[in-house]
């Protein structure tokens, strides 16, 4: 695979391309990849670039170093914020994570360690989450006299339900990857040594899929999660119909009938 990567190891976010898969790495290992304002802005820029780049068909998000995906928001930076600044910080992170959630391309969180507070919130806005078996996740903000500020209560509620959301947020204790899998917070749990290979295997599969169909699927799930069943079904039917205008649909169905592997070009 061809690879290109940034060379500035001081950058808060690193970018690497492996063919059609873009890897975005939060690069503050000395701070367990904690999210400060600069890192949030760098993530916003990185995901915007990935969304706009036709060469990128899938994105993997992870954290630098062996200990953490993202261990939370930067407490040192938050400690001196005023109420207005605190709200602005929350909105800054929320906007970035909502952008990720509504990306037209699939995003996989490769959870290689602690995903706490803002880190779990960042993982939850991704479309898939693959976790190393030693990873721990949680919303410990209550222990700081805070509540989740980047969508934690809302996405946990949708992923894991009311009981699990209240348990994680009220008690503030992390859970292991196996328990997170049981609750539906992560999709798969694998051995740490297999995490990158398994994640990249899934990313490569997504990158080889029909881009317009992937976008339609992501749109349907996003819209359906915010509307009633009837409206969601109507939206799905409309998206289904739109697929018949694409070359990828003709290629996919023709390849099936001809018993060959399809090649999708995103048109």
Q: Catalytic amino acids?
A: 121, 141
Tell which residue, 112, 121, 114, has the closest CA to residue 43: 121
Please enumerate in sequence order all residues whose Cβ is within 8 A of that of 14, keeping only pairs 6 or more positions apart, or say none: 5, 6, 24, 25, 27, 64
Residue 136 contacts residue 83 (beta carbons within 8 Å) = no
Measured between alpha carbons, how far is 141 from 126 in angstroms, rounded to an integer? 21
CB 24 within 8 A of CB 15: yes
User: What is the token pair recorded at 38?
Assistant: 């600069």
**Rounded to whole angstroms, how far apart are CA atoms 52 and 58?**
12
């Amino acid at each position: 695979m061809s690879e290109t990567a940034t060379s500035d190891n001081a950058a808060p976010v690193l970018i690497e391309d492996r063919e059609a898969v873009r890897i975005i790495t939060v690069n503050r290992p000395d701070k367990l990849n904690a999210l400060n304002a600069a890192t949030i802005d760098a993530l916003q820029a990185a995901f915007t670039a990935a969304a706009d780049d036709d060469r990128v068909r899938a994105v993997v998000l992870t954290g630098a170093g062996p200990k953490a995906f993202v261990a939370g928001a930067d407490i040192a930076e938050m400690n001196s914020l005023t109420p207005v600044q605190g709200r602005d910080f929350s909105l800054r992170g929320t906007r970035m994570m909502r952008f990720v959630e509504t990306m037209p391309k699939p995003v996989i969180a490769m959870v290689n360690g602690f995903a706490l507070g803002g880190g779990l919130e960042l993982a939850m806005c991704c479309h898939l989450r693959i976790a190393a078996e030693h990873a721990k996740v949680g919303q410990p903000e209550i222990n700081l006299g805070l509540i989740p500020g980047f969508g934690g209560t809302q996405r946990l509620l949708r992923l894991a339900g009311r009981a699990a959301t209240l348990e994680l947020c009220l008690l503030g204790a992390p859970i292991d990857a196996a328990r997170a899998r049981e609750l539906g917070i992560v999709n798969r749990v694998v051995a740490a040594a297999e995490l990158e290979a398994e994640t990249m295997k899934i990313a490569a599969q997504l990158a080889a899929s029909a881009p317009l169909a992937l976008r339609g699927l992501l749109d349907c799930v996003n819209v359906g999660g915010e509307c009633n069943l009837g409206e969601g079904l109507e939206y799905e039917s409309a998206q289904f119909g739109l697929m018949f205008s694409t070359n990828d649909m003709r290629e996919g169905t023709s390849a099936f009938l001809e018993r060959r592997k399809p090649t999708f070009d995103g048109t």
